[in-house]
Structure 1
């Protein structure tokens, strides 16, 4: 069996079923990847993440480079051994984190100089250095270093960042190939480098980026970055459609940093196979739950004596063992258990959407299922939030 492979079936428009094979297993797609920024999905064990449906997780090269250090992780056996996750794993290059530092970094053609958000120490990020960091960490899929821009950036700004990202991709590719030959004892010897399509919300730039990427190498998969950064959702959808028309159908497509429930369904409609986002766990810790009828804040006073599960039929530990009244109490009392349970619920909810999407695709009913799902989600059946505690 090859180290990496992708096959798909049951196309419905741009949506499709898929199977993405990596050195650490095969992921059925479309799929959502929980985010374990520091090598942990915050507050949860890897066993819990797997139990609610997680099959591939993401970690962040920037954060692990700063603490505990990529060389240290490698010395301890690599990310899989370090985190006790034995399934497929992806590392983001950390480009988003570096570029979000704003006042703490400067960008030039060679790379980025930035100060650590931890202690203010000065660091240098280059495409070659990022490849060495991600080689040490040992994820199955690793991302190029790219230049990110704010949502709504004008075309000249977007073009400059897109073209620099292409130049950096070539440097990443050369170093990636060198390391594959000269560093065969890395924690995961066979890795896949994913390029990132950039270009803001400008369709022509996205098309140009995709074409240049495909002309630069034979990639295992391709990512679409720079979305969900403040642009209107119709603009995100139009951008995905522009990318869909250019990207090959025989490779997995990864939409970076997008993970609200309706965004997953809309993304699958437009040919996306893999998603990631911190939203489900972060919002869970803040008391916001995903339900088929939209988002709901568990602190609402109307839940004070409500003995029903948060979502009827949901298989997560929150919904199978506890009721709304108890969950509201946990948040009112500041108990960490509430945060953990709601984070698990939100992850289970997103994995459930992806499972239902795969089932609808297999049965040839995806178009109708997705339209009905989105209509219910957007109906706002919960009404205005009542956060009273």
Structure 2
């Protein structure tokens, strides 16, 4: 009997639970630490059109989940005008999503056999040793004191994963030295800025993403689907050095929406006023404090993704800086690779080896690119005042040379019918 536990019920967790059920598992249990729905986590994210096409063909995404089309990305820098000077008009073939709506859609698509439990966090996970040194299963220990046994445990529990300790003891996300503030608000609020640059759809067309560049950071802005049908929201991400507020950022952490102290939300407002053209600074000021949060930027490149009967997924395995716009696609691609390996494998050992081969190198390549993008765009950014369109395009191509593609690399072969791994 194939019994799979998925630790973490977020985007990666839902995708892996569905993949295990489709692959033929007889029992799939999702162990999510929180009791409430996860729709309040995160704000906006993007999936490259090519990655979406692959994920849709694999049955992992579909058009029934609300999305917003993006086609262009305008790179801007302050020059005294309301909107700033256009450095480069870059093609940007992406779909943007509201994190909560994406999670809700994936959760609704989880097969009925999946048992989704909430409110009993997992304290640890470990393989169960068998004859001749081979693992014959894996167990989880719950904070409530209970223990359960499975054939396979998937760690889809994010960058603070407890399952990772059973696969790569000592592997932890490393703080990069800068943070990002994030925020969102209903797009109709943009009307308050009409006096600065005219109606929003003219000043900032709905299908355009914007990156405003300044020394030591940048601000990325785009629209996402709203929680009301047919509505839209403004989503922004502001990268900069951290405030001198006594924050402890070396231990993986974040300050969620509504929890940031007034001092922190005021800090990003002051940064925006100093660094951004007036339109974009005023846009940041439209964000309610309860919709603003602080997210330190981390790197994580684990030496392996599997050990015994444990497997790491999504951010539990690799944390990629957001500049690459690949986080959600990476997690969903992990799930597709897992399902493909399941259908082709002759044993649990074969399944885990296939998954390691497919996703280990991919994760490392994305971490490498994320570091390169972070250095080029934030830590060692060029002199934007002297940049023109040709220089911006060449600068961008230099960042991508010899790396996985922006927005994530191409997915391997998709799922195919097969019998799945043998239990035991």
Q: TM-score band, normalised by the shorter chain?
A: under 0.3
Based on CA coordinates, which of the two structures has the bigger radius of gyration?
2
Higher helix share: 1
Normalising to structure 2: TM-score of the pair? 0.25
Higher strand share: 2
Q: Which has the higher contact order (CA 8 A, sep 6+)?
A: 2
